[in-house]
Amino acid sequence: MNKRACSLTVLGAWVAVFFLLGLGVWSFQGGELMLIAYLILSAIVYGLCAFLIRCPDCRMPFLLVPIRFIGMDLYRWSILLPRRCRHCGKQLE
């Protein structure tokens, strides 16, 4: 399984757990706090993955998307891995 397929599988599992957790614990006392804690923990894990998953050639993060705006190079983050590196164009393994 390549990195892109693994990433899509993890993303699908995250959405499924979010909905199952939401349906299962929302009626409990403090259930909404469990969902908020899940979202915060997910954001921390995503932040780590966003910086650690890098291209082996150019060493730029795969999830970093360059945008040209008024002559400046700005960057935003994507949740999906691309098929190719956005910087050097190398195919993902």
Angle between helices 3-25 and 31-52 (to 10 degrees): 170
Place of tokens 């894990």: 45
**Pair 52, 44: CB distance under 8 Å:** no
Residue 22 belongs to some domain of the structure: yes
Residue 62 belongs to what domain range?
3-77
Q: Does 85 map to a domain?
A: no
What pLDDT shows up at residue 76?
82
Predicted confidence (pLDDT) per residue in 35-76, tens digit: 788 888 888 888 887 788 888 888 888 788 888 889 898 888
Regarding predicted confidence, which is higher, 29 or 15? 15
Q: Is residue 9 part of a domain?
A: yes
48: left (phi over 0), alpha (psi -120 to 50) or beta: alpha
Judge whether 84 lies within some domain.
no
Residue 63 within a domain: yes
In a domain, 90, yes or no: no
Give the whole-angstrom CA distance, residue 54 versus residue 25: 36
Cα–Cα distances (Å) from 27 to 31, 32, 33, 90, in that order, read 6, 9, 11, 48
For residue 12, the surrounding DSSP H or E stretch is helix 3-25
Beta bridge partners of 66: 75
- pTM beyond 0.75, yes or no: no
Our count of domains for the chain comes to: 1
88 lies in some domain: no
Residue 21 within a domain: yes
